[in-house]
Amino acid sequence: MQTKDQNSALRNLSALVDFSNVINSSLDIQFAFNNLLLTCLGKFHATRGCILIRGVDNLLNVSSSKGLTQESLNSFPVVKFSDYGSNKEFQAFLKKNRLALTQKIISSDGEIGLLILGERIDGSNYSDDDINFLKTILNIAATAIENARSVEKLKLLNRELDGKVNQLRSLFDLSKEFSGILEKDMIGKLLVFSIIGQLMVSKYAVVICDDVKLEFLENKFQHEKLEPALKDCMPAELKQVLQTDQIINKYSKLFELGVSLIIPMQIKGSTKGLILLGERRSGLKYSETDIEFISSVGSLAIISIENANLFQEAIEKQKLEKDLELARNIQQNLLPNKIPQMKNFEIANINKSAKQVGGDYYDLIKLDENRLLFAIADVSGKGVQAALLMANLQAFLQAVVKQNFPLAEATNLINDLVSGNTTMGSFITFFWGIIDDSNNVLTFVNAGHNPPLLIRKGEITKLKKGGMILGVMETVIPYESETVKLQKDDLLILFTDGITEAMNKNLEEYTDERLEELVKNLEPISAQNTLDEIIDDVNNFTGGAEQSDDITCLVIKNC
Amino acid sequence: MADFNVNVRGVGSVSVIDVKGYLDAHTAPQLENAFNQLIDGSKYKVVVNFNDLSYISSAGLGVFMAYVETMRENKGDIKFSNMQDGVYNIFDLLGFPMLYEFYKNENEAIEKFKESISK
């Protein structure tokens, strides 16, 4: 009897050693489960058994089973590890499947789960010895299971790490690529390729937005519905990542279209675009890491897109500047390139454009041996529009002058021509006159221009006679001319409001009064001298502040 | 910049795309062109042979995501074959085996298309 016990103990011991060797030989957890079950079934002559492992949610899951039908397994109830003993459904499951013995699997880290064995084939009950033996087996198995689980965790961690490395590689890849691309479409394309490849997404859109418009770089959602739905939610106001829950709550229209993640693309905190994504094809949710990844590539992309835009603008600006430069040259050619010589008159002038093309105009045309026509004008507005109108005026003037009409009548004609050729709101202040070497007579017409100053012995006469500004309406009231007999040392000063409205840094204007005060007291040395004095005084006043208006000044001195 | 090459050939009703070298953000548009041409020619049964592909980035994977639906909507598919382990690992890591079929060699993939036709 004693020998039989000894034999049995010896057999048990060697079985334990064998079991320990086998179960620790692999780090595959399924292998461990399988071995544990088979060993138990063999040892106790049971025909069925299963291993239930407690998950993170504390629920028991069937991790391995023998001798149980799929149908039985499918009927395994939801049961918490903590109350398996009292759970009726669970107990019913055990009974139905004739599972007789339940033992906890306990490792150094705590309770891992349960081993459950069926009735023994000979119908006998499990003895205390059996249960003690089973406990020993489970102790050995628990360590092996724990080891295998650690390895699984490590593998998982490793895979996560691989995923991170992969995302970083994608980011690096993209940043390298984006820096070389200046086409928005291409940037958008690479952006989505990287995102959908990384996260397995098949519905997506990339939208560039500002306060007024949306530009779709990519869109696989229903376009005709997405655009209005997106406009409703004021994309430029979206500052935060929106996940599915928030989209359902706030932007149900977008959710209905399949949008389940919205990530803003920002530059310095302001939203310049959005990435919209549908669900992941893997069924997985977007993790925090995924969202970080999308935000990162989004930032890279939006900066590149902004660069592309700036580059495009720079090119266009360059082109415009070139055009303006050309226009400036043309305009300069419209102005007289040299001052005609007169016997009794000295003439000096200056013309400075504030912009590349300006609206100031002056002209000096020798009519015959004795007579010189001079004109000064300021076209309303600035830039190209003013320059074009000025070119028109110059053409009209050259044409009308050739007709040899009296000055007042010629002015009627010019006004009709200008009125017929200007759009609403454009007009020209205009003054012109003729000086005659043979009799020192000045004839002039003033069409709304700042009255030129006639200075005689410190006295100022303003030359106002004429009529309406050019271009407001066709001539109804004919223009009138005036004739003045000039004396030696008389000074005629013609200017545009660029002089009298020149501004200093305190935004104060130079004013007519200051000009009059200055010229009244000037010695009539020469026309050039008078002009220099005026310009110097204006420059002193403005102190180098940048001027917004053209400056034109013409000085005629009777010698 | 690393080289990438894409070549399309027809094997019966199936189109085989041979990809070679590095498929990344820089070279992805070339592969995209190949797919666009196939779609223009109404060829929706595609096997991509990765035999000579040594690297693929997310942007490269994205091209397959961008076209697979069109192919499937037109009773075709994109199937993969001859993938080196390193390249497969990236596909695997990002979960592609769930959505795409991978084959050891090109013929298996082509056969699979034929099977589905005869069914």
Note the pLDDT tens digit of each residue in A79-119: 999 889 899 999 999 999 999 999 999 988 888 899 999 99
Name the domain boundary from A133, A152, A171. A152
Asked whether residue A404 falls in the same domain as residue A515, the answer is yes
Q: What value does the mean pLDDT of chain B take?
A: 91
Q: Which of A162, A186, A200 sits opposite B99 (nearest CB)?
A: A200
pTM over 0.90: no
Same-domain pairing of A467 and A516 = yes
Judgement on whether residues A399 and A498 belong to the same structural domain of the protein? yes
User: Interface of chain A against chain B, CB under 8 Å?
Assistant: 159, 162-163, 166-167, 169-170, 173-174, 176-177, 186, 189-190, 192-202, 281-282, 284
Position B118 pLDDT exceeds 60: no
Out of B24, B32, B93, the one facing A166 most closely (by C-beta) is B93
pLDDT exceeds cutoff 80 at A324: no
pLDDT at A13 over 90: no
What's the pLDDT at B68? 92
A340 and A279 belong to one structural domain: no
- Tell whether A330 is covered by a domain: no
Interface test with A, best of B65, B67, B70, B98 (most A CBs within 10 A): B65
- Tokens linked to B98: 């769930």
A272 plus A236 within the same structural domain: yes
- Interchain contact, B58 vs A162, CB within 8 Å: no
User: pLDDT at position B26, please?
Assistant: 85
Contacts of A170 in chain B (CB under 8 A): 57-59
Does A159 fall in a domain? Answer: no
Closest-CA residue to A192 (of A273, A288, A252): A273
Of residues A381 and A464, more confidently modeled: A464
Distance CA(A146)–CA(A230), nearest Å, equals: 51
Residues from chain A that touch B77, judged by Cβ atoms under 8 A, are none
pLDDT at A1 > cutoff 60: no
Contact call for residues A80 and A71 (beta carbons, < 8 A):
no
Contacts of B63 in chain A (CB under 8 A): 193, 197
Smallest Cβ distance to B65: which of A167, A176, A196?
A196
CB-based contact B65 A202, cutoff 8 Å: yes
From the list B54, B90, B87, B29, the residue with the least C-alpha distance to A177 is: B29
Mean pLDDT of chain A: 89
- Chain B residues in contact with A186 by the CB 8 A cut-off are 29
Q: Are A170 and B59 within 8 A, CB to CB?
A: yes
A258: pLDDT strictly greater than 70:
yes
Instruction: Report, as an integer, the average pLDDT of A472-494.
Output: 94
Question: Would an 8 Å CB–CB cutoff place B59 in contact with chain A?
Answer: yes
CB contact under 8 A, A173 and B64: no
In this structure, is residue A162 part of a structural domain?
A: no
A521-539 pLDDT, tens digit each: 888 899 999 999 999 999 9
Per-residue pLDDT at A4 exceeds 80 = no
CATH code assigned at A247: 3.30.450.40
The reply to whether B11 touches chain A by the CB within 8 Å rule is: no
Q: Are residues A349 and A439 in the same domain?
A: yes
**A440 pLDDT above the threshold of 90:** yes
Mark whether A215 and A298 lie in a shared domain. Answer: yes
Residues of B numbered 13-52 whose beta carbons fall under 8 angstroms of chain A's beta carbons: which are they?
A: 24-26, 28-29, 32
CA distance B24 to chain A (A): 7
Test A176 with B25 for CB contact under 8 angstroms: yes
**B62 to A166: CB separation less than 8 angstroms, yes or no:** no
| Domains, in order of start, for chain B | 4-118 (3.30.750.24)
Distance in Å, alpha carbon of A24 to nearest chain B alpha carbon: 29
Lowest mean pLDDT among A182-186, A210-214, A353-357, A385-389: A353-357
Interchain CB distance below 8 Å, B59 and A282: no
Same domain assignment for residues A486 and A550: yes
Do A196 and B69 make contact, defined as CB atoms within 8 angstroms? no
Interface confidence, given as ipTM, is: 0.84
Same-domain pairing of A121 and A235: no
Contact A84, A114 (CB under 8 A): yes
Of B32, B58, B68, the CB nearest to A198: B58
Residue A255 has φ and ψ, to the nearest 5°, of -65, -40
pLDDT band at A21 (very low <50, low <70, confident <90, very high): confident
| Average confidence (pLDDT) over B3-31 | 92
pLDDT band for position A355 (50/70/90)?
low
pLDDT of residue A275: 95
d(CA A164, CA A296): 13
Pair (A432, A484) in one structural domain: yes
pLDDT surpasses 90 at A345: yes
Q: Both A260 and A381 in a single domain?
A: no
Task: Give the residue-averaged pLDDT of A45-57.
Answer: 90
> Which residues 70-89 in chain B show a CB within 8 A of chain A?
89
- Does residue A453 fall inside a structural domain? yes
Distance in Å, alpha carbon of B7 to nearest chain A alpha carbon: 20
Q: How many helices (H) and strands (E) does chain B have?
A: 4, 5
Can you read off the two tokens belonging to residue A373?
Answer: 């026509």
Helix axes A128-178, A2-23, angle to 10 degrees: 0
Mean pLDDT, residues A148-159 taken together: 88
The bridge status of strand A49-54 relative to strand A60-66 is antiparallel
Q: Among candidates A470, A469, A428, A464, which has minimal Cα distance to A444?
A: A464
Task: Give per-residue pLDDT as tens, A281-316.
Answer: 888 899 998 999 999 999 999 999 988 888 889 999
Instruction: Give the pLDDT of residue B5.
Output: 93
Query: Which DSSP string do the residues of A448-495 spell out, in sequence order?
Result: BPPPPEEEETTEEEE---EESPBTSS--SSPP--EEEE--TT-EEEEE
Residues A430 and A537 in one domain: yes
Token readout for A543 is 């102190």
Tell me what the mean pLDDT of segment B57-65 comes to. Answer: 90
With respect to residue A165, please indicate whether it lies within any of the assigned structural domains: no
Average pLDDT on A260-286 reads 92
The domain of A253 spans: 181-310
**Could you tell me if residue A286 is inside a domain?**
yes
| Per-residue pLDDT, A20 | 84
- Band the pLDDT of B117: cuts 50, 70, 90: low
Residue where a domain stops, chosen among A294, A310, A326: A310
- Count the domains in chain A: 3
